[in-house]
Amino acid sequence: MTQALIVIDVQNDFCPGGALAVTDGDAIIPGINALMQEVPCVVLTQDWHPADHSSFASEHPGAAAYDLTEMPYGPQVLWPDHCVQGSTGADFHAALHTDPADLIIRKGFRRAIDSYSAFFENDKTTPTGLEGYLRARGITDLVLVGLATDFCVAYSAQDAARLGFDVTVRLDLCRGIDLNGSLEAALGAMRAAGVRLV
Ligand code: VGL
Ligand code: ZN
């Protein structure tokens, strides 16, 4: 087996003080940095939205952040503006070691479609290219860490399991948003998909 560490969205906007701050989001960073030294492949993902991204509540007159809306591809939570391309909020947290990364994959850069997963956008069909990269390197086993447990980590883990990777989520190195029970739901969905939660 060949292992890769996939570090999901450890960006300023998901850390305390950010636009979509996850409680204690920055607390996982020292542990992630340490784990990078133990794996042969490190991939970072970066949420990377245009300023007028359709997942932003500000693009939907009358809508509030965290409302649910219907997109052509299905239900979509509307978020505060976050991780706008080139902004400080989109930068990786300063404490995260980025030098060990072999690949940085950006997602959510198409205005009309959100992308929680590191593998597919929210239509579940548009690929990011990450699967091809990992397969071309012979990687079979993935360890996922990062933000947020119940959105980008959970979607990435389920897609990875469906694609046939052996997937472990290190819950101690993740933090969640927990919107209306989304954390419990995500844990159940990951378990049902065959993801190992440790
Ligand atoms: C995320 C909401 C919107 C995440 C990204 O990284 O979990 N959540 N965009
Ligand atoms: Zn986003």
Ligand 1 in reach of 47 Cβ (< 6 A): yes
- Cβ pair 49, 13 in contact under 8 A: no
What pLDDT sits at residue 99? 98
Q: Which pairs from 130-137 meet CB under 8 Å and 24+ separation?
A: 130/43, 130/45, 130/103, 130/105, 131/163, 133/43, 133/103, 133/105, 134/4, 134/41, 134/43, 134/165, 137/2, 137/4, 137/41
pTM tops 0.75, yes or no = yes
| 3-state SS class at 132 | helix
pLDDT tens, the chain, 198 aa long: 899 999 999 999 999 999 999 999 999 999 999 999 999 999 999 999 999 999 999 999 999 999 999 999 999 999 999 999 999 999 999 999 999 999 999 999 999 999 999 999 999 999 999 999 999 999 999 999 999 999 999 999 999 999 999 999 999 999 999 999 999 999 999 999 999 999
The conformational region for residue 107 under phi > 0 = left, psi -120 to 50 = alpha, else beta, is: beta
Q: Is 83 a catalytic residue?
A: no
- Cβ pair 46, 36 in contact under 8 A: no
Q: Give the integer Cα–Cα distance in Å for 183 and 149.
A: 7
Residues with CB under 5 A from ligand 2 (ion): 47, 108
Q: Kindly list the distances between the CA atom of residue 43 and the CA atoms of 89, 103, 187, in Å, as whole numbers in the listed order.
A: 20, 5, 23
Q: Give the integer Cα–Cα distance in Å for 48 and 84.
A: 6
In single-letter form, the type of residue at position 3 comes to Q
Structure tokens at 115: 């992308």
Ligand 1 in reach of 155 Cβ (< 6 A): no
Structure tokens at 25: 């989001």
The CB density around residue 57, as the number of other CB atoms within 10 Å, is 18
Q: For residue 42, report the distance from its CA to the centre of ligand 2, in Å.
A: 21
Interval 134-160: pLDDT, tens:
999 999 999 999 999 999 999 999 999
Which one is catalytic: 13, 107, 114, 159? Answer: 107
Torsion of Cα atoms, 138 then 160 then 24 then 94, to 10°: 40
Ligand 1 in reach of 148 Cβ (< 6 A): yes
Q: Give the integer Cα–Cα distance in Å for 84 and 52.
A: 9
Q: Give the integer Cα–Cα distance in Å for 80 and 120.
A: 22
